Amino acid sequence: MSSARPRIRRSAPAGRRTRLALTGPAALLAAALTACSGGASGSAEVGGDGKAPDTSITVNLRGEAAAPGGPVKVTLAHGKLKAVSVKPGEGGPLAGKISADGRTWTSDRVAAPGTAYTVEATDADGGSDRATFATAEAEKVNKLSLAPGKNTTVGIAQPLSVVFDHPVKDKAAVEKALKVSTSNDTEGSWGWLQDYSGKDRVDWRPKEYWKPGTKVTLDAQLNGVDTGADGGWFVRDYATTFTIGAAQVVKVDLDGHRLALHRDGKQVMDLPMSAGTPGGEKASWRGTAVLMSKEGTINMRSETVGLGDAYDKMVDYSMRLTWSGMYAHAAPWNANYFGQANRSSGCLGMSDANASALYGQVRVGDPFEITGAEAKGTVAEGNGYGAWNVSWADWQAKSALK
């Protein structure tokens, strides 16, 4: 037994004594419970070999700098555990389970970095003990951003999207910690991709467009998850909840130069427009793009999208469709081409009145289904929310848990 003992507080019912022992080659943190029975003669209960029954328990973490990232395990040498509590300095206790034989308790979640824990255990005979340990601080911390925003209402194509500050090498460990629940058991899958920014990203999309009214919750139980080399540890959990709004789809016909809004399967708006000039980088993208944000009046400059100094304009009713700079917006300077030809620098341009009308009806998360030959390619998964341009089977294959 090691001579270095953690400081503990002990409590036991009358007629019992408890102790904390350090055992094993790794000098594990240990809590020991030793049973005594107060007979008429005052003698202790002994086993067949003349020794007191061994009811010691061991906890696999000890000291002030224990390694984080693994579950907390409490093991009883003999007898059965009745209850175990492992509490961090802040928040509720870790959930865990006692094994079928009553000898071991294991936490469901891992020990987080930089956290002090208090361990309390009782055995079936009523003995109890208390000990503490702390985990080492994380040398590097990973963080994330979530979309959509908390308590928002979004369109039927909006994915859950998680972008990480640092690289994620252990994608499976991270994905296991991301718990998605829906109000109607929607089928869906996580898929890993590279965001347009170059960062690691994982999106959860349903097999088909969401059903209106669906409530979606993400419980990202990431505290204590190691993302791997160069990524660092998560030191907190994350959560978001959102609701799916009306079934709206914007159908864009590049070759016909028209844009139509459909709601609940019925066309409610049909507008002439002019898309990107075909035959080069100014052409528009085809495929399904998801409305990312409604940005109102913004300054658009061509050099930000690699088109030199072709334009620098204040643009009204701007609706972002991709990170690469494709928008739907008002473009009164292109009025001669609405419904006639594609002559923009890649965006879907309309009159002020029509852009205003569309802007007032669409919702972030609405899909823009863009068809036509006059395009420069298909929206990529990471260029905005392009997951809908991947088959369901191929999307499922992007999961780290496939």
Angle at 253 between CA 249 and CA 259, to 5 degrees: 55
CB under 8 Å to 74, separation ≥6 — which residues? 31, 57, 58, 59, 60, 81, 84, 86, 104, 105, 106, 119, 121
Q: Are 176 and 267 in contact (CB under 8 A)?
A: no
At 16, the amino acid letter reads R
User: Which DSSP helix (H) or strand (E) runs through 387?
Assistant: none
Contact 261, 273 (CB under 8 A): no
Residue numbers annotated as active site:
329, 347
Looking only at the bridges linking them, the beta strands covering 152-154 and 238-244 are parallel
CA–CA distance, 258 with 376 (Å, rounded to integer): 18
Q: Smallest Cα–Cα separation from 116: which of 72, 58, 56?
A: 72
3-state secondary structure of 97: strand
Query: CA 268 from chain center: how many Å?
Result: 36
Q: Which amino acid is at 376?
A: K
CA distance 168 to 352: 44
Q: Which element (helix H / strand E) includes 79?
A: none
**CA-only gyration radius of the chain, Å:** 30
Is residue 142 within 8 Å of residue 120, measured between CB atoms? Answer: no
The count of residues in the chain is 402
**CA nearest neighbour of 203 among 180, 225, 222:** 180
* Tokens 């899958």 -> residue: 189
Report H helices in 34-147: none
Tokens of 98: 């006692």
SS3 258: strand
